[in-house]
Structure 1
Amino acid sequence: MTTEATTRLATVVQRIAQTCVDNETYFSDLDAVAGDGDFGYSLARGFEIVLAEFDGYDQEDPGAFLQRVAMTMSSRIGGTSGPIWGTAFLRAAGVVKGKQDLGIEDVVAMLRAAVEGIKKRGGADLGDKTLLDAIVPMTDAIEADAGGDSDGAAIARHAAEVARSAADATSALQARRGRASYTGERSIGSPDPGAVAVAVLAERIAETW
C-alpha cells in the first residue's frame, strides 16, 4: 500500500529527474569550462528514461523503487555520471529496503549511504571539488534541523541554502577528480557542475515541497 511517505519519495525523485532534463544545457555549459561538457547531456539522457518508465516502477516499496532508478542510471548513462549517480541511488535503496513509513532520519540515512557510495565508487572526498562538496554539508544541515522544531518545508529550504552556498564555494577549489582535474589550477575560478546540480535540485525540491 502506498503511504504518504512513499508517495513523497516518488514525487521528489520525479522532480529530480525532470529538473535534470530541464537543466541539460546549463549543466553541460558548466562542465565545458573545465571538463568535457557532457555532464548535463548524460544526466538528461538517463533521467529521461527514468521519467519514461516511471509509472512502471514499484512505488510502494521505497527500496525496490530506488533500486530500479539506480539500475536505469547505471546502465543508461555514459561516462562517470552513470556509475556515480547509480551507486548513490543504489546505496539509498539499501537503507529503506522493506520500509514504507519513512521519516527524516531515513532521509539522512539515505543521503549518508549515498555519500559513502559516491566516495567509494569515485575515489573522491570532501575538498576534491565534486558533488560531495555540496551534498555532505547539505546532509549535515538536514540532520541538524531534524532534531529541532522545523517542519519539512523549512528543513528543505535550509538544505537548499546550504547546498547553494557550498556549491558556490567550490569555485575556490582545484579539481582533484574527474576530467576537470586534468586542467590543474585552471579548474580554480568556476564551480563544480556536480555540486551546482545538487544545489539546483535542492532548490527545486524546496520550492515545490
Structure 2
Amino acid sequence: MSLNGQQIKQIIFKIAQMIDENKMYLTELDAAIGDGDHGINMSKGFQAVIDKIKDDNGDNIGDMLKKVSMALIANVGGASGPLYGTAFMKAGMWVGNRREISIEDYYNMLLEALNGIKARGRASIGEKTMVDSLEPAINELKVSIDNKFNELECLEKMVNSAKLGMENTKNIVATKGRASYLGERSIGHLDPGAVSCYLILKTIFEEVKKIKG
C-alpha cells in the first residue's frame, strides 16, 4: 500500500469532509437512541482536526495522528471524543515517526486503535457500539493479508465486513452508554458510532483506491 504522510493527511481531510456531509444523518441516528449529537460533534471535531494539521508536512505520521487525537478529544463531546481520540492516539503511537506505511502497518494501527477503544470504553463485540463494525473489519483485513489478496481487495473485504457489522447493530440490545437505558427498545436502530466507524473505513478505502489508481 505504501502511503506517505501527505497522502494520509489528504485522507484525513476527506474523512472530515465525509463526516460533515453525513452529520445530520449521524445525528438523526443518535437522536433515536442516544443524545442526538453524534454527527454534529464529530463534524465539529474533524473541522478542528483540519485546522490542527493543515500545516503539517507529513514527515512524522505518528506525530500527525497524535495531533488528530488531541483535536478530537478537545472538540468532540460525549463518549465519541475520547474513543476516537484514543483510536488515533494508539495508531499514532504504534506507527511512530515513520514517513510511510504499508498494508501490514495499517492493520497493526487499526488493531492498536481497537484495543484502545475497547479498553477506554470497556466495550466488547455484540454490545451495539463502534466495536461491532471495527473488530470484524480488522479480523477480515488480517485474513485477507494472510491469504495474499492484493491491497485494494484486502481493503474492500475489510470495508464489507465493517458494513455487515454495522448493519447487525440493528439486531443488538444496547448495553453501553445512553442507548442502554432503552433496553429492548434499542433493537431496530443502527448504532451511530458503528455507522461513523464504517463510513471512516469506507472513505479510507475509496481514497486509497484513487491514490493507487
TM-score exceeds 0.5: yes
Structure 2 residue matching 1:71: 3-state secondary structure: helix
Find the residue that maps to 1:98 and give its secondary structure: coil
- TM-score calculated relative to the size of structure 2: 0.91
Match of 2:127 in 1: 128
User: 2:140 aligned with 1:141, yes or no?
Assistant: yes
The aligned amino acid for 1:82 is G
Task: Look up the equivalent residue of 1:73 and give its one-letter code.
Answer: L
1:109 alignment counterpart = 108
Amino-acid identity (%): 33
Q: Which residue of 2 aligns with 1:10?
A: 9
Where does the alignment leave 5 or more consecutive residues of structure 1 unmatched?
A: none
CA distance in 1, matches of 2:60, 2:101: 11
1:207 aligned residue = 206
Q: Distance in 2 between matches of 1:104 and 1:206?
A: 11
SS at match of 1:10: helix
- Verify: 1:83 aligned to 2:82, yes or no: yes
Deviation at 1:180, TM superposition (A): 0.5
Which structure 2 segments of 5+ residues have no match?
none
Mapping 1:22-41, distance limit 5 Å:
22-41=21-40
Question: CA separation in 1, counterparts of 2:55 and 2:9?
Answer: 12
Cα distance, 1:87 vs structure 2: 0.7
- The letter of the residue matching 2:164 is S
- Partner amino acid for 1:152? E
The more displaced of 40-49 and 11-20 is 11-20
CA distance in 2, matches of 1:109, 1:205: 15
- C-alpha distance in structure 2 between counterparts of 1:112 and 1:4, whole Å: 18
Task: Give the TM-score, by structure 1 length.
Answer: 0.93
Aligned residues: 207
1:146-203 CA distance string (max 9 Å, x none): 1233222222221111111110011110111111111111111111111111222222
For residues 21 and 168 of structure 1, the distance between their equivalents in structure 2, rounded to whole angstroms, comes to 21
Q: Which AA in structure 1 matches 2:179?
A: A
Instruction: List structure 1 runs of 4+ shifted beyond 4 angstroms.
Output: none
Correspondence list, 1:31-180, <5 A: 31-180=30-179
Map of 1:183 onto structure 2: 182
CA RMSD of aligned residues (A): 1.5
Bigger Cα displacement from structure 2, 33-42 vs 198-207: 198-207
Does the CA contact (< 8 Å) of 1:18 and 1:51 recur in 2? no
Residues 1:198 and 2:197 are matched in the alignment: yes
Please tell me the residue identity of whatever aligns with 1:144: V
Q: What does the per-residue CA deviation read over 1:131-160, in whole Å, with 9 as the maximum and x for residues that have no partner?
A: 001000001111111123322222222111
